[in-house]
Chains A and B, each alone.
Chain A
Amino acid sequence: MTIPLSGPFSGSLSRRDCLKAAVFSSLLSVPGTGALAAAQTGPRRLLLIELNGGNDGLNTVVPYADPLYAKLRPRLAIPRDAVLQLDEHMGLHPELAALMPMFQQRELAVVQGLGYAQSNRSHFRSIEIWDTATDADVIGQDGWLSRIDPQQQFGRRFAADAVVIGRNPKPASGDDMQPVVMTDTRSFVSESRGVQALEASSENPALRRILAVQRDIESAGHALTAQRPQPAGEFPQGAFGRDAREAARLLIGDPATPVVKIALTGFDTHAGQLGRQQALLRQLGDTLAALKTAFTAAGIWSDVLVLTYSEFGRRVQENGSGGTDHGKAAPHFVLGGRVRGGLLGEAPALAKLDDGDVTPTLDYRCLYNAVLGRWWAAGEAQIEPARYRALDLLRA
């Protein structure tokens, strides 16, 4: 089997050669805990997608067979015959049609009921809880991804530990991880122009930090302007499609970073939800499909895990303005060539609501522990693994 490689070393390479090269290079590098896992193929990358505003899970993964669904949402329910059936109870919003082939190929896991105890309905607080992986009443300092030390994990350096395109760098910010943050790559490249990477060191920790961040800016700016392979295929129009394309560009080939976070904004649908969510889900579905195309063409679909998250789901009962207010649990998507696809977790029990909301049945940290403990095999970085058992969503 041959896989095409594009970029500076374009040509083709057999899978076996790739493996051999990777094994050798990992022997030469310092083997961290993750280095062995990474030795199988390239470094295992993560693309995190924040659905900002609180996506309405019930109209994303629809319990179409439950009569209560249509009853509680007289104006907002997705008609049963429009739903894309995942099984005899649940189905996807019709605008997510692009995800169906992935679901059928079992590369898309739909994880239901994600949330946490004592849900907080504030956007700011709830996303902070998700980002720092704490209980609802604990204020966390560090993002959950910073629980790994990238250099140790991957046994090598990247242009950036993590890149955050758009809002909210929290999940990748911590003592061992400083993300390079950019509103968008184009302005980052222009803003970083002229930033000097001084090799100088200093006794002064504050100055040392400034110099280090300047070096990160410079190397990320450099990596972004360098001749990186271009992602194959078309991405949807608009800011989110553009950010996703940039994310793919950073991850394919020799990755500029192992972790990228992007965000799709606008899910706070208190009014006029139908049309707004429809447009957002279309962007999301089409972009996820475009990412798969790009990653597959680059030969790294099995080396990427794509994960969505959001601060909360929305209330079950629609409000008076054709929208929904802040709720609790919601389903999320995990995609990749190594994902064991299917419907995971419990379907929303509309007869047993928690104060009018879908009850969280699966703590979000079980999902994070699958990333930390299984995807990266960084067992010690997991969050209370005995309490939040890592989800089994990866193929062996």
Chain B
Amino acid sequence: MRTSANADSDADARHLLRRIGFDPGPLGDEPPESATMTVLIDREVDRAAGRRQAATPPPDWVGEPVELPFADQGLDEQARRELRRKWMRRYGELQAWWLREMLETPAPLAERMTLFWAGRFTSSYRNVRWGQLLYRQNAMLRRHALGCYDQLLHELIRDPAMLLYLNGQQNRKNEPNENFARELLELFTLGEGHYTEADIRDAARAFTGAKLSPPQGDVELKARQHDDGRKTVLGKSGNFDGDDVVDIILGQPRAAEFVVENLWREFVSPQPDAGAVKALAAGFRRDWRIAPLLKSLLGRPELLTQARQGTLVKSPVEFVVGTARQLDLPTTPMSLALAAGRMGQRLFDPPNVKGWPRGEDWITSEWLLQRRQFVLALAGDLPTPTDEVDDDGPGTKEPGMRKAAKRPMRRQGLAVQRRFGEVGEALPPRGPELELLAFAPVLPPVEGAKPPDRLQTWLLDPVYQLK
């Protein structure tokens, strides 16, 4: 354990890194060379902005052609079962791919921002069914995660997974399907109260005719199915297409505020400061560049005062990835993806179009107990969870995985426990909990506890849920 004259700023660096990435680690390491907060923020944002694609190689099937419809109709029972098995296996591979990137990335903020957008501009493997398209959407979101918001929206309206998820395929001239247009205005860009039903109707008409074209799966505009009549959207009239609607949305002052408020809730505090949001939004809408916005937002003094009080709740993904990173545990990406799923956050499968729960909604009796189970298993106080997971998650109950996978999972579980014990033993007698927790634990210390038990107690502490 280092003794530093800069103890306060070391602690603040940890607060910051925990807020904008995953728990900083490994535990006991030097923090970034006594840099000022501004330097640290710039470094993290620049690093994330420069990482426009994942380094982890994707599953080898992401380039496979896409056919529509997803053909499970008309197959016999046997073929259906096999298709379903393949589908679930691929779901697991996709989750593990993203989780590995989160574990290994030197730019955690890039992952947090990708996750942020994936939780806002939602699509689910369950409905989209083509893993290729979900991968492609993830690559698109991460390419623009800290790039330009206007470009991100223009990409979003031609994203094939989004097209399938929100019924864009069924949106035709004279038979509009409003699903995408409604969510675009309500959940993605402006929020309730900032548009009318008439805006949705005409915006939906502007998006008509987009079709996914196999086998590459690109979205193309079919002129014959596109409604090229006059539309009125948010006070503007003309023969609009989807790109025009995006530009009209971006012309609304609310558009920038909406993004800033959501980023504020993600990184700063549960209640955005209205004045600060307006000021940040005014700068943001000039060029829609996300990285400079983030630098200003993360530099707000509230971020640190709130972080020292731990006013935000870690999401399940932050909880498991942060734990594995800071304790440098040899866990597999798949086991962590499953664990996060049991706590309520399945990657590539948000529960509905609103995305995953946020903030305090993560705190339910079931999910809190799952977090507890996860920590107990790290220390070997539980059998390692294997394949029994909730009953409605694709990829979580893969048949055939049971027997074959149990032995390696057990071996891996033992390696994790060994490492957990080592980290626990190596901790100094005094003070390491303040590197793990936003503030002092609320659970009373266990008298005479062995070092690994002390470590476990801190990870079980309510404060460990907070950041």
Residues of A within 8 A of B (CB): 122, 124-125, 128, 139, 167, 169, 173, 178-183, 188, 191-192, 195-196, 198, 200, 202-207, 209-211, 213-214, 216-217, 220, 265, 271, 321
Q: Check if B466 is an interface residue, CB within 8 A of chain A.
A: yes
Which of B40-48, B241-249, B349-357 is the contact stretch? B349-357
| Docked-complex contact A210 and B443, CB < 8 angstroms | no
| Docked-complex contact B352 and A206, CB < 8 angstroms | no
Question: How far, in whole Å, are A332 and B347 apart by their CA atoms in the complex?
Answer: 35
Q: CB-CB < 8 A to A180: which residues of B?
A: 365
Q: Chain A: which residue is nearest B351 at the CB level?
A: A124
Q: Chain B: which residue is nearest A188 at the CB level?
A: B369
Contacting A at CB under 8 A, from B354-374, are 354, 359-360, 363-366, 368-369, 372-373
Question: How far, in whole Å, are A167 and B126 apart by their CA atoms in the complex?
Answer: 18
| Docked-complex contact B364 and A196, CB < 8 angstroms | no
Among candidates B352, B373, B462, residue contacting A210 with C-beta atoms closer than 8 Å: B462
22 A-B residue pairs with Cβ-Cβ distance under 8 Å, sorted by A, are: A124-B351, A124-B352, A128-B352, A139-B354, A167-B392, A169-B366, A178-B364, A180-B365, A181-B365, A181-B366, A192-B369, A195-B372, A198-B442, A200-B442, A206-B270, A206-B310, A206-B313, A207-B466, A209-B363, A210-B368, A214-B462, A216-B365
Most buried by B among A122, A169, A217, A265: A217
Q: Are A210 and B369 also in contact (CB < 8 A) when A125-B352, A139-B352 are? A: no
| Docked-complex contact B366 and A198, CB < 8 angstroms | no
Among candidates A125, A188, A205, A207, residue contacting B462 with C-beta atoms closer than 8 Å: A207
Question: How far, in whole Å, are A124 and B351 apart by their CA atoms in the complex?
Answer: 8
| Docked-complex contact B311 and A181, CB < 8 angstroms | no
Q: CB-CB < 8 A to A192: which residues of B?
A: 369
A139-B354, A206-B270 are known contacts; what are 18 more A-B pairs with Cβ within 8 Å?
A: A124-B352, A128-B352, A139-B353, A167-B392, A169-B366, A179-B365, A182-B365, A198-B442, A200-B442, A204-B310, A204-B311, A205-B270, A205-B360, A206-B313, A207-B462, A207-B463, A209-B363, A211-B442
| Docked-complex contact A196 and B372, CB < 8 angstroms | no
| Docked-complex contact B312 and A207, CB < 8 angstroms | no
Question: How far, in whole Å, are A124 and B165 apart by their CA atoms in the complex?
Answer: 13
| Docked-complex contact B365 and A217, CB < 8 angstroms | yes
- State the total of A-B contacts with C-beta under 8 angstroms: 84
Question: How far, in whole Å, are A183 and B373 apart by their CA atoms in the complex?
Answer: 13
Question: How far, in whole Å, are A285 and B466 apart by their CA atoms in the complex?
Answer: 46
Q: Are A217 and B368 also in contact (CB < 8 A) when A124-B352, A139-B353, A207-B466 are? A: yes
Which 3 pairs of residues, A with B, have the shortest CB-CB distance? Answer: A181-B366, A210-B462, A180-B365
| Docked-complex contact B466 and A178, CB < 8 angstroms | no
- B110 CB to closest chain A CB, in angstroms? 26
Q: CB-CB < 8 A to B392: which residues of A?
A: 167
Question: How far, in whole Å, are A217 and B371 apart by their CA atoms in the complex?
Answer: 13
Question: How far, in whole Å, are A209 and B365 apart by their CA atoms in the complex?
Answer: 11
Q: Chain A: which residue is nearest B443 at the CB level?
A: A196
Among candidates B311, B353, B364, residue contacting A206 with C-beta atoms closer than 8 Å: B311
| Docked-complex contact A167 and B368, CB < 8 angstroms | no
Question: How far, in whole Å, are A81 and B120 apart by their CA atoms in the complex?
Answer: 55
Q: CB-CB < 8 A to B442: which residues of A?
A: 198, 200, 202, 207, 211
Q: CB-CB < 8 A to B391: which residues of A?
A: 167, 265
- A163 CB to closest chain B CB, in angstroms? 9
Question: How far, in whole Å, are A213 and B443 apart by their CA atoms in the complex?
Answer: 15
Question: How far, in whole Å, are A124 and B463 apart by their CA atoms in the complex?
Answer: 33
Q: Check if B390 is an interface residue, CB within 8 A of chain A.
A: yes
One digit per residue, 1 when the CB lies within 8 angstroms of any chain A CB and 0 when it does not, for chain B 98-134 equals 0000000000000000000000000000110000000
Question: How far, in whole Å, are A204 and B311 apart by their CA atoms in the complex?
Answer: 6
| Docked-complex contact B360 and A209, CB < 8 angstroms | yes
Q: Check if B208 is an interface residue, CB within 8 A of chain A.
A: no
Question: How far, in whole Å, are A213 and B390 apart by their CA atoms in the complex?
Answer: 21
Q: Chain B: which residue is nearest A123 at the CB level?
A: B392
- A257 CB to closest chain B CB, in angstroms? 12
| Docked-complex contact A213 and B363, CB < 8 angstroms | yes
Q: Chain A: which residue is nearest B186 at the CB level?
A: A139
- A317 CB to closest chain B CB, in angstroms? 15
Q: CB-CB < 8 A to B311: which residues of A?
A: 204-206
Q: Are A191 and B313 also in contact (CB < 8 A) when A124-B126, A169-B364, A198-B443 are? A: no
Q: CB-CB < 8 A to B126: which residues of A?
A: 124
| Docked-complex contact A182 and B466, CB < 8 angstroms | no
Contacting A at CB under 8 A, from B365-385, are 365-366, 368-369, 372-373
Question: How far, in whole Å, are A167 and B353 apart by their CA atoms in the complex?
Answer: 20
| Docked-complex contact A178 and B462, CB < 8 angstroms | no
Q: Check if B77 is an interface residue, CB within 8 A of chain A.
A: yes
Q: CB-CB < 8 A to B369: which residues of A?
A: 188, 191-192, 195, 217
Q: Chain B: which residue is nearest A205 at the CB level?
A: B360
Q: Check if B309 is an interface residue, CB within 8 A of chain A.
A: yes
| Docked-complex contact B364 and A167, CB < 8 angstroms | no
Q: CB-CB < 8 A to A200: which residues of B?
A: 442
| Docked-complex contact A182 and B366, CB < 8 angstroms | yes
Q: Are A220 and B365 also in contact (CB < 8 A) when A191-B372, A211-B462 are? A: yes
